[in-house]
């Protein structure tokens, strides 16, 4: 028997842009390290020379990612886990912004 397929909600930053009719495979795991954080270690990011423009809610993940990149001479085949965690954090941050926009739109319309 085939495993059940997951129904995925796709957000496009608006309540009318939500689609739940798409099915995608894979029950993706939850990675707690990829959650955006409000409490950032500003001194550690400054010491690691993270540019100010990238010191957002996912900036804490750039410290180990850039350390790995420098140690491996920016090889594209290395640091895959760190890069994936950072990109997943950015995606989670995007979803949070979309949900905040949906909630603000609902609040303004009611």
96-110 pLDDT, tens digit per residue, is 999 999 999 999 998
Q: Which residues, at least 6 apart from 50, have a Cβ–Cβ distance to it below 8 Å?
A: 59, 62, 63, 66
Q: What number is the average pLDDT over the span 49-68?
A: 95
Cβ atoms < 10 Å from Cβ of 82: 19
Instruction: Output the CA–CA distances (angstroms, integers) from residue 21 to 6, 9, 18, 67, 71, in the order listed.
Output: 10, 8, 9, 41, 44
Q: What is the pLDDT of residues 17-51, one digit of tens each?
A: 555 554 555 556 788 999 999 999 999 999 999 99
Cβ atoms < 10 Å from Cβ of 62: 21
How many Å apart are CA 3 and CA 90, to the nearest integer? Answer: 30
């Amino acid at each position: 028997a085939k495993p059940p397929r997951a129904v995925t909600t796709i957000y496009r930053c608006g309540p009318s842009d939500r689609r739940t009719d798409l099915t995608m495979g894979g029950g993706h795991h939850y990675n707690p390290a990829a959650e955006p954080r409000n409490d950032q270690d500003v001194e550690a990011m400054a010491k690691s020379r993270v540019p100010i423009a990238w010191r957002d809610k996912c900036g804490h993940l750039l410290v180990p990612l850039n350390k790995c990149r420098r140690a491996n001479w920016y090889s594209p085949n290395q640091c895959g886990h760190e890069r994936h965690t950072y990109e997943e954090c950015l995606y989670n941050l995007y979803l949070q912004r979309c949900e905040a926009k949906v909630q603000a739109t609902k609040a303004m319309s009611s």
